[in-house]
Structure 1
Amino acid sequence: MSLTVSRHIPVRPDWVASRVEEPLEPALPIVDPHHHLWHRPDSRYVAEDLLADIAGSGHRIVATVYEECHAWYRDGGDPVEGPLGEVEYAAAVGDRAKAEGRPTALCRGVVGTMDLTAGDRVRPALERAIDLGHGRLKGLRCSSVHHPDPTAHGSMLNVPPGLLAGAAFRAGFAHLAPLGLSFDAWMYHTQLADCADLADAFPDTAIVLNHVGGAIGIGPYAGRRDEVFAAWRTALGEVARRSNVAVKLGGLGMRLFGFDLHEGERAPDSETVAAAWKPYVETAIELFGPERAMFESNFPVDKGSCGYGVLWNAFKRLAAGYSADDRRALFLGTADRIYRLGLDGGA
C-alpha cells in the first residue's frame, strides 16, 4: 500500500464561509456516520473544529461516527497494533464530549482499521481495540482503492489489487462478525465486484460501502460522466443485491467525482449541490432502499466543496420526497442500527 500527498480539494475557510444558509428542518435528528479527525503538518481538523462546524450549521446532529484516516497511530512495537492508537484517541474524544454534556454525542461510534492480512494474528489486537474503544468500536475499514492509472486516484492510498480476495485478508476478516464488528469498504466503481464477492463469502458480516461506490470522474474518466454512471449503476446494483451491504450517501465533494463545485468565486448553495449529486444519491437509494442507506458528511474532506450546513441542507432537499419513516432511516435509523449506536429512537 502506498500513501501519497493529499489528493483532496484544499479547504479554504474564507471561501466556505462565503455561503451560509439557515438550516432546513432544524429539528430533524441526524447521525453523521462518517467524519475524520486529524492533525497533519498541512491540515488540522480535530474535535473542536467539528463541533464548530456542527454548531455553526444549526442542524441537529445528535451523534457521530468517527472513520479511520491513518491518524493517531502508535509508534514502534508490533505494526498490527499501531492503529490501536487511533481507536484510543477517538474513544477519548467521545468520552470527553459525554463528560462535558455535549448535545452531540461525538464519536458515539468508531470505525478503526487493522491489517487483516495478518490473519489469525489480528484476533488479540481486535480484542484489545474493543477494550480501548470503551464500547465505541463498531467496525473496521480496510481501504482497497486501486487503479493502475495514477491520474484516476482520488485517494491518498493506492492499495495493491485483489486485497479483499486474498486468503490472508479473509482469514483476518473472519474474526469481525464473531466479535460483533462490521466492515466499511472503500473502493472505486471499477472494483465493486470485489465488494459483492466479499459479501457473498461472509453473509453474516455487515458491510458498509463508502461514498456511493466511488464513481471516478477524473483522469481517464473525465468527460465520460454518462458512460461512467451507467457502468457504476450496473455494478452498484449487483452489490445492492447482497442484503448484508449498506451504502453511505456522501463523499461526492471529493475531487474523485470530478465535480466543479469548488471552482466558483463563492461556495455553492445547497440547491446547486443537491442538483449535482442527485443522480448518484437517488440511484443509490433506489437500489439499496432507505433502510440500507445513510447520509454522511465525510468532513473535513468534503469541506473543500461546500460548508457543513450547506451539505446537510442539500441532503434534506434530496430526501424531501421520501416518507417520514424513510427520511428517519436515511438521516438516523440506518446508521443507528448498523453501527449499533443505541439511540433506540430516543433522538
Structure 2
Amino acid sequence: MTFSTASSFTPSRQIAVRQEWLAQVREEPLDPTLPIVDPHHHLWDRAGEHYLLDDLLRDAGAGHDVRATVFVQCGAMYRATGPEEERSLGETEFVNGIAAASASGTYGPTRACAGIIGFVDLTLGDRVAPLLEAHLATARARFRGVRNRTAWHPSSQVRSNLLTPPPGPLEDPRFIEGARHLAARGLVLDVWAYQTQLPLVAAVARAVPELTLVVNHCGGPLGVGPYAGRREEGFAEWRHEVLGLATLPNTVMKLGGLAMEVGGYDFHLRDLPPSSAELERAWRPVIHTLIEAFGAARCMFESNFPVDKGMCGYGVLWNAFKRLAAGAGEDERAALFAGTATRIYCLHEAVGCEALGAQVAVSKP
C-alpha cells in the first residue's frame, strides 16, 4: 500500500476533490436499472469550493439510474442583508431555482433538488413559525424540512462543519419548541451529530414523537481525535447508541457520509482511489448494523457529495452501496435506494411512482 501527500483540505475543512486522482478508478455501474434517489447532497460556490448543478449532474450521470435528489443545507447563497434569521431564505431561493431548471427537463432526466432541506434556527422556539412559512412560500412542496448546525465535539480535531456550532443546540428547550413547528407542518428534521451526541438526538426524538427525525451520515461514527487508532472500541460505543436510537419509531437513518475525514478512513491519502469492493469491505460493519437495526423501511443510502467526493467517485460510491445491499431482498433494495427517501421527503411526483411501484409501497413502516 502506498500513500500520497497530494491530498489537501478546502477552506471549510473538507477533503479537497482531485478529479485527476478520481479518474484513475472507474467502474461500470452494477444493476444500472435500479432506481436511485440521492437524499443528501450540497451545492455551493465559494472560495476554493465549487459544486453546482452541472457538477452534480456530471456525477449523477455515471451510469446509475438517479431519478431525483435532495439538497441539504450548507450555508449557500445566504442573503447579504436583512434580519439575520431571514438570511437563510437566500439558500432556499437559490436551490429552488436550480430545482425549477432541472424540472424543465432541459438538463436531463434526473430531477435535482426535488426536495430541499433548508435552515431555520430552531432555537428561536415559537418564532420559527413565520420563518418556516416563508421557506414554504418560496419553495412550496419542494421544501421538506430543516437542518441546524449541531455536529459538535470538544476535541478541535473533530470538525466537519464550515462553522463550528456552539455545543448545546440539541439541549436547548427552545430547539424542541421549534421542532414541534416542523412536525405541525409535516416537515422533517435532519440532524448531523457525532456518535457522542446520539443520546441528545434520541432525547429530541422522544420529546417530539410526531416528528420524523432523519439522522445523517450513519450517526457519525468517529475515527479521529480521541478515537484515532481505536476503531473497535469506538465501533462498540457507536453501536450501543445507534441500537438505542433505532428503538424510536420516528427516527430514520441515512447510510453514507463515511468518506468524511472525521470517520478516520485514509483512502484519500493513497496513490489510487478506492474501488467499490474496498469501500464495501471497510464500511460493511457500520452499514449492516444499521440496516439490521432500523430495517430497510427506515434507511436510505446517500452520497453526501461533494463532501465525500474527496475520497471516492460517485459511480464507485453507488457501486459500493449496491455491494453492501447484495444480500437484501428485492423489496428491501428498492426501499434502501429510492423508496424510503421518496416517502420521507414526499418525492413521488419527481421520482415517478409508476416506475417505482412496489419500491414506495414497501417503504411503509
Asked whether the two chains share a fold, i.e. TM above 0.5, the reply is yes
Is 1:228 the counterpart of 2:237 in the alignment?
A: no
Q: Which residue of 1 aligns with 2:68?
A: 63
SS at match of 1:133: helix
Name the CA distance, whole Å, in 2 between partners of 1:288 and 1:345: 27
SS in 1 for 2:291: helix
Kindly report structure 1 stretches of 4+ aligned residues shifted beyond 4 Å.
none
The SS at the match of 2:28 is coil
User: The residue matched to 1:25 in structure 2 has which SS?
Assistant: coil
Are 2:347 and 1:341 equivalent residues in the alignment? yes
Q: Deviation at 1:27?
A: 0.5
Write the distance in 1 (CA, Å) between the matches of 2:242 and 2:51: 31
Percent of pairs with identical residues? 48
Contact 2:218 2:257 in 1 (8 A): yes
Return 303-312 or 153-162, whichever deviates more.
Answer: 153-162
Distance 2:197 2:164 in 1: 13
Could you tell me whether the CA contact under 8 Å between 1:155 and 1:256 is conserved in 2?
no
What is the CA-CA distance between 1:33 and the residue it aligns to? 0.3
8 Å Cα contact 2:148/2:191 also seen in 1: yes
Q: Unpaired segments of 5 or more residues in structure 1? A: none
Question: 115, 124, 134: which is aligned to 1:128?
Answer: 134
| CA deviation vs aligned residue, 1:1-38 (integer Å, no higher than 9, x gap) | xxx94222111110011111100011110000000000
TM-score, structure 2 length as denominator? Answer: 0.92
Please give the alpha-carbon distance, in whole angstroms, between the structure 2 residues aligned to 1:332 and 1:252: 19
Contact 1:152 1:221 in 2 (8 A): no
Give the SS at the match of 1:73. coil
Aligned pairs for 1:284-303 (under 5 A) are 284-303=290-309
Deviation string 1:237-285 (CA, Å, 9 cap, x unpaired) is 1111100000000000100100011122111111011111111111111
Q: Say if 1:35 and 1:66, in contact at 8 Å, map to a contact too.
A: yes
Aligned CA-pair RMSD: 1.2
Match of 1:208 among 207, 214, 220: 214
1:206-236 C-alpha deviation (Å, 9 max, x unpaired): 0000000111100111000000000000001
- Paired residue secondary structure (2:68): strand
The DSSP-based 3-state class of the residue aligned with 2:253 is strand
Q: Give the alignment partner of residue 162 of structure 2, picking from 146, 149, 156.
A: 156
Amino acid in the other structure paired with 1:82: R
> How many angstroms does 1:160 deviate by?
2.0
1:161: how far off?
Answer: 2.2
**1:91·1:134 contact (CA, 8 Å) conserved in 2?**
no
Q: Which residue of 2 aligns with 1:324?
A: 330
**1:78 partnered with 2:83:** yes
SS at the partner of 1:89? helix
Contact 1:97 1:105 in 2 (8 A): yes
- Verify the 8 A CA contact 2:176 2:208 in the aligned structure 1: no
Are 1:12 and 2:4 matched, yes or no?
Answer: no
Is 1:95 the counterpart of 2:104? The answer is: no
Gaps of 5+ in 2: 1-9, 357-365
* CA distance in 1 between partners of 2:163 and 2:239 (Å): 24
Aligned to 1:256: 262
Match of 1:274, as an amino acid? E
